[in-house]
Structure 1
Amino acid sequence: MTREAILIPFLFAFGYSASNASPILFDSTPENISGIAGTTAILPCTADLTDADSKREITWMSPREVLIAIGDRRIIDDTRMSIERPRVPDWNLHIRELQFYDRGTYTCSLNTKPMSMKKIHLEVYVEPQIYEKTRNTHQILKEGATANLTCNATGYPEPTITWYRKSISEKEAISQQGAFLMIHNITRYCSGAYECEAFNGIGPAVSKVFSVNVHFQPEVQVLNKKQKQDLGKETILQCEISASPQAIVNWRKGEDVFTANSFHRITSEIYEKDIYTTILLLRIQNLTWNDFGEYVCEASNILGRDLERMQLFPINGIQVSPKAAKDDKSDSKTIIFDFSSSSTSHQKSAPSPGEQILVKSPNSKPYGIVHDSSNSSSEADAMFHIFECLFLIVLVLICQMISSSC
């Protein structure tokens, strides 16, 4: 085989024209080019037309069969595209500010016989993005409702969306993936910040934060429902209130509502324990007999109200219960004698005509009387108190007889 027989097929592969003895070197090897949206893609095409017929021209066609350029002249209206020739044989197509719709197969051709062509496939990758106008990024729900969080993300390849539960110092991945996160039968412990993160391997991950706030009616808890203290001493009543939104809280005794600085001896103090829990204290100084009895800690918000009751007792004293007071139909004043060892006097007030006498010893257990079970006495002490009671009863009767005769 002659040298010419070997060379002629080779020249046709590189764009050899039968009408022109000089070969045209045209690289027709297919290529795959990739770029990221927003950047510039360079699609190479090489053809040395230095010694070629002046009628030979390079043309570029888009994937949609739209003529882009003839030679180095741009035909298409898209100003992002141009023909760049860093070297004489180069007829490169530059596409600036790549868009996703620019992807496809482009054709660089030379009008030889047969036609010389080079196919270049352009793949455009898009970094993940989350719609800025995502709705319901701040949700307020009642306990038991269902939270629906939606994270709409785009990108190519399609991004993977991962959900996280955020705290102050870290975030914890939630097993569920996808654009939607649903929390059924939500509780107050589900409140907080949630983050969706979209990632597709192109550029950094992007994320969006959602806030969920769960509302519930107040829950009042009194840790010590029975409390004791001595007369003249100071005591502190305490209750905890959990609520969302924040509740209106107060202590009261009967019709008296204790607010800050409402009484010079009795003050209300409030402290925040956590995001939902408040501690309400009632400080009572220099306890008097009127301070003993039932106290109520109550709280209310737009979803409801709750309350808890507690009793404040004297340590060594004897107190008539509210029920015993209601059973007394007369308007007379009840006189209470206290015979405990810590008492400094035997009588709270001096008797007067028309007053009802009520004498009780620490060991007696009549209806309506509250005793201090911590103070027990021996049988000898009991007998002594009995004789002492009899003596006082006789003394009172004599006083009444003298008063009636006068």
Structure 2
Amino acid sequence: MRGYTVFCKFMTISAVVYLQGAELIDDPKGAGQAALPMLVNLFDTNVQITCSRQKDQVDDDIVWYYGDRNYISFGTRVINNNYLVNKNGYGELVLIIKQISMGILGKYSCVNNKTKRKIKTVELKIIEKPSIVNHSNTTLMITEGSSVELWCEVESVIEYKIDWFLHNDRLDLPVGINGSRLTIVNITRHCSAIYRCFVTNAKGNNSVDFDVTVIHKPMVKIEVNTTTHDNVSTKKTTLECIINAEPRTNYIEWSVGEKRIGSWNKSLGFPETYKAFETRYMLTKDEPTFSSEHEVLKLQILKPSKDDVGTFKCSATNIVDSQTAEVEIV
């Protein structure tokens, strides 16, 4: 059942990853190295990648590649109009990408063509808002008393953070990035809610919602309502069996002492007063509404008499368990 007062114990398990720059250096073993991410925006112009100067370097021995096989240049001579290659003041060969577009994203390498050794490898990546690439199930039904773990895995080329929300209110929790997990410990029926993993970086945000429903046995209480009509000698007594259950009940029964008065059965769909009590009692059922999520099975005493003294019981059953409440009529 949904509610707005939540008494839940939370904890987070967070892994924090920071994307940091590093200077790429020549690979002395000639085995190559992982590409360093280089962050760019679409339509950036004159993006530069510098190839480290080699000892006894001959410019024409330095080759720039796009991917593994596509030649861009030999020395300062380019064979693709999207690029320029210039020599800087340190004698290093600088690849200049005239304008960033989706078609030229990817890996760029400068290679010593004599030794076939990669000197530098850079991968151009677009700076975008974070993506949620994986997450736990978005609809969960959890038994009361157990624990549940919610998580979302994020991809972003720049630093980002995760916030967790409950009913659109941010939870005051420690947070991290790259797969933060929210664990609800010893979950209670009050923890049924919509939870949100909300991810932000400098480019925007993304989110995923988790609908958590806590399954629990019925909570049952009885209220006695007595009304008096204009004729003060005429009274109307109604016993209301008020039930909160998740999932909904499939059976509710009224009894007095050891005698069964009547019941409501989900498969039947309407309340039934047993024949021996049809003239004394009437059963009606109120279904849950938007403003009230309780089920109510009412027992109206049609003609109050001394025979109605005793212990009245209401029992409600769902797939989890049964629960009974009682009231003494004197």
TM-score of the aligned structures, taking structure 1 as reference length? 0.49
The 3 A distance-change label for structure 1 pair 299 and 206 is: same
Query: What is the match of residue 197 of structure 1?
Result: 198
Which runs of 5 or more structure 1 residues have no equivalent in the other structure?
1-32, 46-55, 75-80, 85-90, 108-118, 314-406
Shift of residue 296 of structure 1?
A: 1.1
Shift of residue 282 of structure 1?
A: 1.6
Partners of 2:307 and 2:158 in 1: CA distance: 77
Partners of 1:266 and 1:227 in 2: CA distance: 15
Query: What is the match of residue 293 of structure 1?
Result: 310
Partners of 1:140 and 1:228 in 2: CA distance: 41
Matches within 5 A, 1:361-400: none
Secondary structure at the residue paired with 2:243? strand
Q: Which amino acid aligns with 2:171?
A: A
- The Cα offsets for residues 89-133 of structure 1, whole Å up to 9 and x where unpaired, read as xx854442178754x7879xxxxxxxxxxx9x88634321001x5
Partners of 1:100 and 1:83 in 2: CA distance: 13
Q: Which amino acid aligns with 1:208?
A: V
Matches within 5 A, 1:124-163: 124-127=125-128, 128-131=130-133, 133-163=134-164
Secondary structure at the residue paired with 1:177? coil
Shift of residue 40 of structure 1?
A: 4.0
Shift of residue 212 of structure 1?
A: 0.9
Q: Which amino acid aligns with 2:40?
A: G
Greater fraction helix: 1
Shift of residue 187 of structure 1?
A: 0.8
The answer to whether the 8 Å contact 1:161/1:177 transfers is yes
Query: What is the match of residue 61 of structure 1?
Result: 64
The answer to whether structure 1 residue 310 and structure 2 residue 327 are counterparts is yes
Partners of 1:182 and 1:280 in 2: CA distance: 37
Query: What is the match of residue 97 of structure 1?
Result: 102
Shift of residue 232 of structure 1?
A: 5.9
The 3 A distance-change label for structure 1 pair 195 and 98 is: farther
The 3 A distance-change label for structure 1 pair 185 and 261 is: closer
Partners of 1:99 and 1:299 in 2: CA distance: 66
Shift of residue 241 of structure 1?
A: 1.7
What's the RMSD between the two structures over aligned residues? 4.1
Shift of residue 218 of structure 1?
A: 1.3
Matches within 5 A, 1:73-84: 73-74=79-80, 82-83=82-83
Greater fraction strand: 2
Q: Which amino acid aligns with 2:101?
A: R
- The Cα offsets for residues 244-296 of structure 1, whole Å up to 9 and x where unpaired, read as 11123232331221453634651323243767533332222233444443321
The answer to whether structure 1 residue 171 and structure 2 residue 169 are counterparts is yes
Q: Which amino acid aligns with 2:286?
A: I
Q: Which amino acid aligns with 2:149?
A: N
The answer to whether the 8 Å contact 1:145/1:185 transfers is yes
- The Cα offsets for residues 125-180 of structure 1, whole Å up to 9 and x where unpaired, read as 4321001x533221111111111111100111142111111x2xx43334131311
Query: What is the match of residue 247 of structure 2?
Result: 245
The 3 A distance-change label for structure 1 pair 240 and 61 is: same
The answer to whether the 8 Å contact 1:191/1:213 transfers is yes
Q: Relative to structure 2, which stretch is displaced further, 138-147 or 272-281? A: 272-281
Q: Which amino acid aligns with 1:249?
A: I
Query: What is the match of residue 270 of structure 1?
Result: 286
Partners of 2:68 and 2:315 in 1: CA distance: 78
The answer to whether structure 1 residue 257 and structure 2 residue 255 are counterparts is no
The answer to whether the 8 Å contact 1:219/1:306 transfers is yes
Shift of residue 301 of structure 1?
A: 0.9
Query: What is the match of residue 236 of structure 2?
Result: 234
Query: What is the match of residue 206 of structure 1?
Result: 206
Partners of 1:188 and 1:289 in 2: CA distance: 40
Secondary structure at the residue paired with 2:190? helix
Partners of 2:156 and 2:105 in 1: CA distance: 9
- The Cα offsets for residues 10-47 of structure 1, whole Å up to 9 and x where unpaired, read as xxxxxxxxxxxxxxxxxxxxxxx8523xx3443368xx
Partners of 1:293 and 1:185 in 2: CA distance: 39
Q: Which amino acid aligns with 2:205?
A: A
The answer to whether the 8 Å contact 1:137/1:210 transfers is yes
Secondary structure at the residue paired with 2:156? strand
Rg: which structure is higher?
A: 1
The 3 A distance-change label for structure 1 pair 100 and 73 is: closer
The 3 A distance-change label for structure 1 pair 309 and 92 is: closer
The answer to whether the 8 Å contact 1:227/1:311 transfers is no
